[in-house]
């Protein structure tokens, strides 16, 4: 048995190849992938060969936002059957290191994460027709939920973890900087959590339109109306919380300016080093909090999507068959048109 895979050899060098697929062993399942979302990290690998110190050093199968249908189960697998539709959790912590034992599995020292070039050999990803996964990675979805929706569970889990890092959201005034997939899903999560006001900023009108569909009470195009946030910065700031999803220095600065004293900024966007206006951060006693991946939030994300408590459909702005992966990656990098681009698998 063989499967097609989407393998990256270097910047702008994606090849669709075939490789053998093993039968599932004890505790494993064979999943026929139906949909897979292209993430920002996938784009960094595709365009730049990596990000920061993380570089592609060998051919790597990309993709960590995937969902599909179970084809076969190995021995000892309970609660899963052939025909079940599942979202696949890309995280595989060791459950043995000191962070796993402390309940911080997202910081596992031996984490294996789909489509990641952090370790060598690299961890191969989910952009393929067939994949053997551990049973514990599978979260079942109902037949009323499309596999495209289920594949959005991973980025939604990232946002749910960020809300957990932020603390209470209900009744708060919230700023979200960056209206890509993470910003849009953070907006939806804040709306679900009962935020009183959600203002979203971005440089692209198309992305801001999606943010409004996801629950933003107002939006600001920081490129065409740069003064629109000024009223929110008066009297030492207005927002109780900010979620910085762009990793752009001007966006972080605007968040520090617009958050009230002793407010909180949760940093989700990742990049290299950024200048930070420390005097303002210190003078306003702002809490700057990092947020990294997720743990139990993945199962929660699947449940929210499955009952449409969070409707992820507005963020999915395009789908491409696997054989058109290069076109899909090019479109995914065009933020004037795309929020979340997914691959589909015609042999599914």
pLDDT at 271: 85
pLDDT band at 347 (very low <50, low <70, confident <90, very high): very low
pLDDT at 53: 84
Q: Return the closest-CA partner of residue 237 out of 215, 208, 217, 257.
A: 257
Mean pLDDT calculated for residue range 55-78: 97
Strand intervals (E) in 21-107: 28-37, 50-51, 54-55, 60-61, 65-73, 85-88, 91-92
Q: What are phi and psi of 211, to 5 degrees?
A: -60, -40
Mean pLDDT calculated for residue range 189-209: 98
pLDDT at 51: 84
Structure tokens at 137: 């990675």
Is 65 a residue whose pLDDT tops 80? yes
Between 30-39, 46-55, 169-178, 216-225, the lowest mean confidence (pLDDT) is in 46-55
Mean pLDDT calculated for residue range 184-191: 98
Give 263 or 1, the one with higher predicted confidence: 263
Domains, in order of start, for the chain: 2-152+312-344 (3.90.180.10), 156-290 (3.40.50.720)
pLDDT in tens, 219-237: 999 999 999 999 999 999 9
Q: What share of the chain is helix, strand, coil (3-state, %, to 5)?
A: 30, 30, 40
Burial status of residue 170 (CB atoms within 10 A of its CB: 0-12, 13-18, 19 or more): exposed
Mean pLDDT calculated for residue range 198-223: 98
pLDDT over 70 percentage in the chain: 99
**pTM of the complete model beyond 0.85:** yes
Write the CA distances from 343 to 64, 128, 271, 298, integer angstroms: 12, 10, 25, 21
Q: Do the Cβ atoms of 200 and 176 come closer than 8 Å?
A: yes
| Mean model confidence pLDDT for the chain | 96
In the chain, the largest separation of any two C-alpha atoms, in whole Å, equals 66
pLDDT at 272: 79
Between 40-54, 122-136, 257-271, the lowest mean confidence (pLDDT) is in 40-54
Q: Which value, in Å, is the radius of gyration of the alpha carbons in the chain?
A: 20
For the CA atoms of 287, 290, 291, 293, the dihedral, rounded to the nearest 10 degrees, stands at: -170
Mean pLDDT calculated for residue range 136-150: 97
pLDDT at 346: 65
Q: Do the Cβ atoms of 41 and 60 come closer than 8 Å?
A: no
Helix ranges (DSSP H) in 193-270: 205-213, 230-233, 249-258
Is 205 a residue whose pLDDT tops 80? yes
pLDDT at 222: 97
pLDDT band at 290 (very low <50, low <70, confident <90, very high): very high
pLDDT at 52: 79
pLDDT at 348: 42
Write the CA distances from 178 to 171, 182, 243, integer angstroms: 22, 8, 9
Strands 138-141 and 259-267: what pairing?
A: unpaired
């Amino acid at each position: 048995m063989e499967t097609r895979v989407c393998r990256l050899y270097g910047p702008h060098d994606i090849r669709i190849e075939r490789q053998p697929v093993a039968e599932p062993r004890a505790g494993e399942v064979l999943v026929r992938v139906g949909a897979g979302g292209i993430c920002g990290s996938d784009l960094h690998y595709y365009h730049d060969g990596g990000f920061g110190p993380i570089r592609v050093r060998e051919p790597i199968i990309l993709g960590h936002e995937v969902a599909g249908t179970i084809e076969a189960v190995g021995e000892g697998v309970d609660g899963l059957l052939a025909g079940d539709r599942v979202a696949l959790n890309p995280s595989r912590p060791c459950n043995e290191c000191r962070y796993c034992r402390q309940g911080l599995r997202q910081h596992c020292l031996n984490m294996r994460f789909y489509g990641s070039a952090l370790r060598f050999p690299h961890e191969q990803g989910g952009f393929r027709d067939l994949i053997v996964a551990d049973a514990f990675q599978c979260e079942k979805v109902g037949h009323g939920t499309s596999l495209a929706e289920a594949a959005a569970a991973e980025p939604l889990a990232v946002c749910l973890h960020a809300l957990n890092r932020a603390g209470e959201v209900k009744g708060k005034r919230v700023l979200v900087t960056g209206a890509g997939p993470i910003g849009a899903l953070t907006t939806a999560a804040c709306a679900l959590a009962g935020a009183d006001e959600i203002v979203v900023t971005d440089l692209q009108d198309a992305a801001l339109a999606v943010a409004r569909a996801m629950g933003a009470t107002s939006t600001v195009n920081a490129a065409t109306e740069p003064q629109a946030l000024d009223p929110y910065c008066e009297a030492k700031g207005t927002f109780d919380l900010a979620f910085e999803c762009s990793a752009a220095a001007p966006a972080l600065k605007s968040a520090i300016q617009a958050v009230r004293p002793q407010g909180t900024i949760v940093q989700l966007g990742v990049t290299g080093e950024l200048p930070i206006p420390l005097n303002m951060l210190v003078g306003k006693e702002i809490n700057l909090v990092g947020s990294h991946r997720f743990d139990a939030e993945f199962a929660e994300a699947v449940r929210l999507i499955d009952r449409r408590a969070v409707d992820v459909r507005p963020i999915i702005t395009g789908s491409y068959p696997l054989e058109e992966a290069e076109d899909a990656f090019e479109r995914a990098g065009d933020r004037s048109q795309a929020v979340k681009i997914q691959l589909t698998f015609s042999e599914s």
